Amino acid sequence: MYDLKTTERHNISNMATIEELKRISSQVRRDIVRMVTTAKSGHPGGSLGITDVLTTLYFSEMKQDPKTWTRQAKDQDVFILSAGHLAPVYYSVLARAGYFPVSELGTLRKFGSRLQGHPSVSDGLPGVTKPSGSLGQGLSVAAGIALGKKMDGTDRRVYCLCGDGESEEGQIWEAGMWAVHHKVDNLVAFTDWNGQQIDGPTRTITGLEELNEKWAAFGWDVIVADGHDYQSILDAFKLARNLNGKPKMILFKTEMGHGVDFMAGTHEWHGKAPSAEQCEAALKQLPETLGDY
């Protein structure tokens, strides 16, 4: 088990890179708040909380090119969003990375939009490899794709984002056992470890708290990192790249609603849209850095 609070850090980035990630993340958070407010429904809390990690994945870590991306591409890394309710942050990061026009973000959850409440592939939205919404299933798909890439002889990786509340699903642990058995060490899963789910703190629902010990017991390489510290995020991804023989689980300690003071640290904004007034209050806390859609 590797805890980046105590493990020696790797100098893999400079302040300019981290500053750019901060600027992108601020804009992504603005997108999330505006999208969910306009749609009058959606999941802002978790989306805001995992923004720093997903921004770092797409803009610094993952080898994927929006110009040549296809669902079948063998020469690119793959990302699977298992926790499909985090669609707002997913859509914003995809748009800001160039997969589809940023202006399309304003269509979230509208009739006929490609940006459905949970990601879908039926409308051909670029960047989305797998539909998601039914919790617990994404890790199984990611493990299967990872094994397929190993069979194809490529060195590309598969990344999968899970939620800690989602980790109450039994299929998560079935996939965990399968991935270890088949030695899919090109699988890098990561969990949004914010301790919150729609019904309240995770410790009051099923008591699923020590995820680090559970994943280690299942035979995974486990890395614990700060999901709001860009150096810690970068270090975690690099460490995952350098470990071989086992699938990797990065547990990113995050805060639900991070970046907006009245949404932070509570499950109350898991699936609730802000009012117009609340939206304005949130946007005042988030610098506009790339231009609103």
The 10s digit of each residue's pLDDT in 206-239 is 877 789 999 999 999 999 999 999 999 999 999 9
Mean pLDDT of 253-265: 97
Beta-sheet strands, E only, within the chain: 2-3, 78-81, 158-163, 187-193, 196-197, 200-201, 221-226, 248-253
Lookup result for tokens 């992108």 = 24
Domain ranges of the chain: 2-283
For residue range 153-193, what is the model confidence (pLDDT) as tens digits? Answer: 999 999 999 999 999 999 999 999 999 999 999 999 999 99
pTM: 0.94
More confident site: 134 or 87: 87
Write down the mean pLDDT value for the chain.
93
Burial (0-12, 13-18, 19+ Cβ within 10 Å), 47 = buried
Please name which of 54, 122, 129, 64 lies closest in space to residue 88, comparing C-alpha atoms. 54
- Report pLDDT for 6: 43
What pLDDT is stored for residue 17 in this prediction? 85
Given a cut of 80, whether residue 38 has pLDDT beyond it is yes
Task: State the pLDDT at residue 45.
Answer: 96
What's the confidence (pLDDT) of residue 10? 34
pLDDT for the residue numbered 30: 98
Q: How far apart are CA 165 and CA 195, in angstroms?
A: 8
What's the rounded Cα separation, in Å, for the pair 68 and 84? 24
| Residue-wise DSSP of 117-172 | SS--STT--TT--S---STT-HHHHHHHHHHHHHHHT----EEEEEETTGGGSHHH
pLDDT confidence of residue 5: 54
Predicted confidence band at 204 (pLDDT cuts at 50, 70, 90)?
Answer: confident
* Model pLDDT, residue 9: 36
Give which of 112, 111, 91 is closest to 103, Cα–Cα. 91
Q: How far apart are CA 62 and CA 267, in angstroms?
A: 30
Q: Do residues 251 and 211 make contact, with C-beta atoms less than 8 angstroms apart? A: yes
pLDDT score, position 269: 95
pLDDT tens digits, one per residue of 128-146: 999 998 999 999 999 999 9
Residue 253: its pLDDT value, please? 97
Q: Which two tokens stand for residue 168?
A: 């109450």
Segment 38-59 shows an average pLDDT of 97
Q: What percent of the chain has pLDDT over 90?
A: 86
Could you say which DSSP state residue 217 is in?
H
Output 104 or 1, whichever has higher pLDDT: 104
**Matching residue, tokens 């051909």:** 124
Q: What is residue 11's predicted lDDT score, i.e. its pLDDT?
A: 34
Determine the topology of domain 2-283 in CATH.
Answer: Rossmann fold (3.40.50)
DSSP strand pairing (158-163 vs 78-81): parallel
At residue 94 the predicted structure's pLDDT band, cuts being 50, 70 and 90, is very high
Q: How far is CA 75 from CA 70, 189, 279, in A?
A: 10, 19, 41
Cα 203 from Cα 74, distance rounded (Å): 40
Give 203's pLDDT tier (boundaries 50, 70, 90).
confident
Indicate the SS3 state at residue 197: strand
Most confident of 143-152, 189-198, 202-211: 143-152
- Provide φ and ψ at 182, rounded to 5°: -95, 5
